Amino acid sequence: MTDRASSELAGGGTTEDALLGGQIRLRQPADGYRVAVDPVLLASAVPATAGETVLDAGAGTGAAALCLAHRVAACRVTGLEIQPVLAALAVENAVLNGLSDAVGVLEGDVSAPPPGIGPAGFDHVMTNPPYLRASESRLPPSTMKAIATVERDVDLASWLRICAGVVRPRGTVTVIHRADRLDEIVPVLSESCGELVVFPLWPKRGEDARRMIVRGTVDSETPLRIAAGLVLHERHGAFTREADAILRHGAPLEP
């Protein structure tokens, strides 16, 4: 798969795109795996502060890691990415944005993390796991996109347990995923986390949420809470003022 992914990148090349209204530059494959708004929203929901450490599990080309490091000065983000092509682009993107001191990238599998990623090793974890079950979808023609979006050897429950296992007590796990899989996410995170907050992401007012962010605090016993969430678009399609503040200006997602 690595050879196929490398061939895809060589064949299609890369583009340089902008996040946070141009504050972050992102080189990514021209075809196949492409960053949308999910990693930006994910980074906005992580309550990291200066001096804290964050693991970005499944970092891709580094979009979420870069957005968080840009917003929270002096935090340290480690990206873990299984695809060598995307991990290399993430390293390149950290340099491109002058954030190589704040963002490091390790190549490796979430289920078998490389040295440096161990139990209770981080203050926070953020993750945008593959969102399609292998049994319910046809693999995309792009190998890079298939690995990024379709569960393979690690299902969602296992992925989340691994993420929670590397967080220190009172640290947080933040995940963005499909709303129709909330019934899987909450029980798994509840095994080690309390103070669960669910942030629905409404496409427009009056429409069902298709994505949501869930954040839990390790070793907390505070009850689950459903936040008001975030409406992304006005009726005419433009971003709402609240979404624009996050997606273009890097504001945090308030609970």
Q: Strand 167-178 relative to strand 211-218: parallel, antiparallel, unpaired?
A: antiparallel
At 3, is the pLDDT very low, low, confident or very high (cuts 50, 70, 90)?
low
Residue 179: count other Cβ atoms within 10 Å of its Cβ.
Answer: 16
How many domains does the chain contain in total? 1
82 pLDDT band, cuts 50/70/90, is: very high
Q: What is the pLDDT of residue 11?
A: 55
110 falls within a domain = yes
Structure tokens at 165: 């296992």
Q: Is residue 193 part of a domain?
A: no
pLDDT band at 63 (very low <50, low <70, confident <90, very high): very high
Structural domain includes residue 11? yes
Chain centroid to Cα 99, Å, comes to 18
Residues 230, 246: contact at Cβ < 8 Å?
yes
In a domain, 62, yes or no: yes
Instruction: Give the pLDDT band (50/70/90) at residue 1.
Output: very low
User: What is the pLDDT, as a whole number, of residue 141?
Assistant: 65
**151 or 174, greater pLDDT:** 174
The residue among 92, 85, 59, 106 whose CA lies nearest residue 5 is 85
Residues with Cβ within 8 Å of 14's Cβ and at least 6 positions away in sequence, in order, are 27, 28, 29, 30, 89
Q: Are 97 and 68 spatial neighbours (Cβ–Cβ below 8 Å)?
A: no
Q: Output the CA torsion sign for 180, 185, 66, 3.
A: negative
Give the rounded percent of residues in the chain with a pLDDT score beyond 90: 83
CATH of the domain at 22: 3.40.50.150
Q: What pLDDT score was predicted for residue 143?
A: 80
Could you tell me where the beta strands, DSSP code E, fall in 73-192?
76-81, 103-107, 122-127, 167-178
Average pLDDT over residues 222-244: 97
User: What integer pLDDT is reported at residue 137 of this predicted model?
Assistant: 62
C-beta separation of 72 from 116 below 8 A: no
pTM listed for this prediction: 0.93
184-224: pLDDT as tens digits:
999 999 999 999 999 999 999 999 999 999 999 999 999 99
Distances (CA, A) of 143 to 33, 82, 147, 179: 9, 13, 6, 25
Give CA–CA dist 237/163, Å, rounded: 35
pLDDT higher at 144 or 20: 20
Q: What distance in Å separates the CA atoms of residue 72 and residue 61, rounded to the nearest whole number? A: 19
Q: Is residue 24 part of a domain?
A: yes
DSSP string of 203-235? EETTSPPSEEEEEEEET--PPPEE---EEEE-T
Looking at the domain assignment, is residue 99 inside a domain? yes
Residue 232 carries which side chain, given as an amino acid letter? L
**Which residue do the tokens 């319910």 mark?**
136
Instruction: Output the pLDDT for position 176.
Output: 98
156-183 per-position pLDDT tens digit? 999 999 999 999 999 999 999 999 999 9
How high is the pLDDT of residue 149?
83
Check residue 6 and give its pLDDT: 56
Residue 204 resides in a domain: no
Q: Residue holding tokens 């490796």?
A: 108
- Residue 245 inside a domain? The answer is no
Average pLDDT over residues 10-19: 85
Mean pLDDT for the chain overall: 93
Q: Which domain holds residue 11?
A: 2-174
Beta-carbon-side half-sphere exposure of residue 208 (alpha carbons within 13 Å): 4
Average pLDDT over residues 108-116: 93
